[in-house]
Amino acid sequence: MYYKFSGFSQRLVGATAAAAYTPQGLKPIVSTESSAPVFGTSKLASDLPATDSFLSNNKVPDLQKIFQKADGLPVHLKRGVPDKLLYRTTMALTIGGTIYCLIALYMASQPRQQ
């Protein structure tokens, strides 16, 4: 025998198997139509035009040359001025945030004057 919680009497009452497995009277959504196959609309690689943007030249060998060069620079500074600007901005914000936190802790540790 199956049981379900009755919202009216606030007790367990006897129920059918389908009613017991759907809480609080919610009915499962049953689709009567069959869904389309997931991969049915994909194109073959030979059917795609060669002018698509994702089929452009491969940049990986160029980037490998840049990043594998033995010039003594760390990886996060290998690409020049933009990397240096981002690195220095991040360091400035980190140092500024640390100083701000220390000032806030110092001010919070002082008793209030009345």
pLDDT tens-digit map of 27-81:
656 656 666 666 655 555 566 555 555 667 888 888 888 888 888 888 888 888 9
pLDDT band at 22 (very low <50, low <70, confident <90, very high): low
Q: Are 8 and 1 in contact (CB under 8 A)?
A: no
Distance CA 100, CA 90 (A): 15
Write out the two tokens for 43: 């194109």
> What mean pLDDT is reported for the chain?
79
Q: What is the pLDDT of residue 54?
A: 62
Indicate if the alpha-carbon torsion angle 15, 16, 19, 22 is positive or negative.
positive
Please report, to the nearest 10 degrees, the dihedral formed by the alpha carbons of residues 16, 18, 20, 25 taken in order: -110
